Structure 1
Amino acid sequence: MAKIIISCAITGGIHTPTMSDALPQTPEQIAEESIAAAEAGAAIIHLHARVPEDGRPTGDPEVFARFLPVIKQRTDAVLNLTTGGSLTMPVQERLAAAVRFQPEVCSLNMGSMNFAIFPVAGRITEWKYPWEKDYVVNSDDYVFRNSFRDIAYMFETLGGMGTKFEHECYDLSHLYNLAHFVDRGLIEPPFFIQMVFGLLGGVGADPENLAFMKQTADRLFGKENFQWSVLAAGRHQMQFATQAALLGGHVRVGLEDSLYIERGKLATSNAQQVEKIRRILAELGHEPATPTEAREMLGLKGGDRTLI
């Protein structure tokens, strides 16, 4: 059966250190977690950065510079840099590391949306760092901005560097936004579409939604023109990844998306989640794609053509 690309999102910019001791915070922790995830079978490593002293999300290229070369030297994984950063960053800050390092892949949210985790605050009584509580509680007023102008700016800036995109689609409308940019000639196939489910503010984690998103993408782009993957937030992570594999899609796991390994049990590492989805894929008769195979499927430029 077809090889399946496993992506692993190492730390993200939405969870905070209080929520899990396993969430990597320092450049050294991010590097080690990334290397372990790659060794466990992840072909793509999706990366955010955090302020080492207190775990706040940061777009500072100097922080990225402390872990990107280490990961590149010790793995062959495809390095996928965020352009999402965090909910409170302006677009220029979110894009700064990608512009400097010109990676093979960048994530790109395909539209503006409400993006919230404030219900989590009610379950936490003590916070490790002063910034965390306000960041989480105030997410009921956050709008993750990616206007058509923002998205066009990212395509025009990074596309000229040969960087491809992980098009993160949190709702049906985001697929139509992607189709709009295809019609404008700003991007060309093959596309890599990451369908996102279960986040408050986005499409719900219902199997019918996954099927309809895939059918819509087939109709808009043609099956031969894109690769697709699924990530689901929190408790939906593994079941939706499994369903994606059954439908012929790729999968994403990692502590950015879920802090748990099973119901009520926190994951101890990103690699633990990669190992679990790899076991599930094996039971379904699939093998994980190597980084070389992932590059071929996604039409990537190769790690030697980045500035990492």
Structure 2
Amino acid sequence: MSNHTPHSKVVITCALTGNLTKPEQSPYLPITPAQIADSAIAASRAGAAVVHIHVRDPKTGRPSMELELYRETMERIRARVPELIINLTTGPGGRFVPSDDDPRVAGPGTTLMKPELRVEHIAALRPDIATLDLNTMNSGAEVVINTPRNIRRIAERIRAVGALPEIELFDSGDCHLARDLIADGTLVGPGLFSLVLGVKYGFSATPETMMYGRNLLPDGAVWSGFGIGRAEFPMVAQAWLLGGHVRVGMEDNLYLAKGVLAESNAALVARAVEILRCLGAEPATPAEARAAFGLS
């Protein structure tokens, strides 16, 4: 099946709070498990079939990998919208900041941890989908490190619990690595992919770049494309035109328009639905998204 044909039913993923967005940037950013779950449910009602979840320390608002925060968030969502597809991150734990005195030594801000610790919540909670970041790249003044060896260890544990890996691609080298991981059996093809556009030093958020990234995917792959910041809504239209699904949410963008903060994730989803309907498409239901992604 081609991955180049626009869908009549488009899967919308809502990335609710993320890892890098700061609470001081928006008073509407969900922080606590209750806030994140409420935001997920509202996003679902607005048209999202998938919610992508990070959690945060309720006291500080800073990113967290605390298992019980993930558990509470998932339980709150499952109790109210059991059909909603839950996608949990495994991204945190790959950031390295060299110290000023010795670049071999980690400095403040480093989050590097054993791959097994990055997937403890996946093994315990068994979400529908778990992200798998393939990027090793500059990220601002820091570096994100995901070596092929560690990626294989994370992928093995995601697959062992029956979660579907969503393979996150930040630049063209990630696409080539993904093909190697399918070829050696680490991943099962043709795969579920997400093209991340607009992160500085990665894929730029342009039509040409999205087409290039899509063309590097295996034939028959299912994919989404999304843009960071002001590229979010233009990339909704672009992903659909190129045969992909879409993602929006406060992890990626806080604004409905220049200078206008989105008051909820649901508002961002509603804008994506509006764009897609203007193009002649409709948001997929969770059941339709499960069929599109090959989920039981």
Same fold (TM over 0.5): yes
- 1:45 counterpart residue number: 51
| Equivalent in 69, 74, 79 of residue 68 of structure 1 | 74
- 2:192 counterpart residue number: 192
Structure 1 residue 190, shift from structure 2 partner: 4.3
Q: State the superposition RMSD in angstroms.
A: 1.3
CA distance in 2, matches of 1:16, 1:264: 17
Matches within 5 A, 1:196-275: 196-217=196-217, 221-222=218-219, 224=220, 226-275=221-270
4+ runs deviating over 2 angstroms:
85-89, 91-94
| Equivalent in 79, 84, 92 of residue 77 of structure 1 | 84
CA distance in 2, matches of 1:92, 1:262: 40
CA gap 1:51/1:89 in 2 versus in 1, 3 angstroms: farther
CA distance in 1, matches of 2:229, 2:60: 23
Matches within 5 A, 1:1-308: 2-75=8-81, 76-85=83-92, 87=95, 88-90=111-113, 91-116=115-140, 140=141, 142-217=142-217, 221-222=218-219, 224=220, 226-301=221-296
Alpha-carbon contact 1:37-1:271 (below 8 Å) kept: yes
Q: Which runs of 5+ in 1 are unaligned?
A: 117-139, 302-308
CA distance in 2, matches of 1:78, 1:287: 18
Alpha-carbon contact 1:190-1:299 (below 8 Å) kept: no
- 1:125 counterpart residue number: none
Letter of the 2:205 counterpart: A
Q: Which runs of 5+ in 2 are unaligned?
A: 1-6, 96-110
CA distance in 1, matches of 2:161, 2:117: 18
Alpha-carbon contact 1:155-1:186 (below 8 Å) kept: yes
- Cα offsets for 1:82-113 (capped at 9, x unmatched): 00126425234422211211111011111212
Moved more, 102-111 or 81-90: 81-90
Alpha-carbon contact 2:116-2:153 (below 8 Å) kept: no
Letter of the 1:27 counterpart: P
Letter of the 2:33 counterpart: P
Higher share in helix: 1
Alpha-carbon contact 2:249-2:269 (below 8 Å) kept: yes
Letter of the 2:209 counterpart: N
Give aligned-pair identity as a percent.
37
- Cα offsets for 1:231-287 (capped at 9, x unmatched): 111010000111111222100000000011112211111000000000111111101
How many pairs does the alignment contain?
Answer: 272
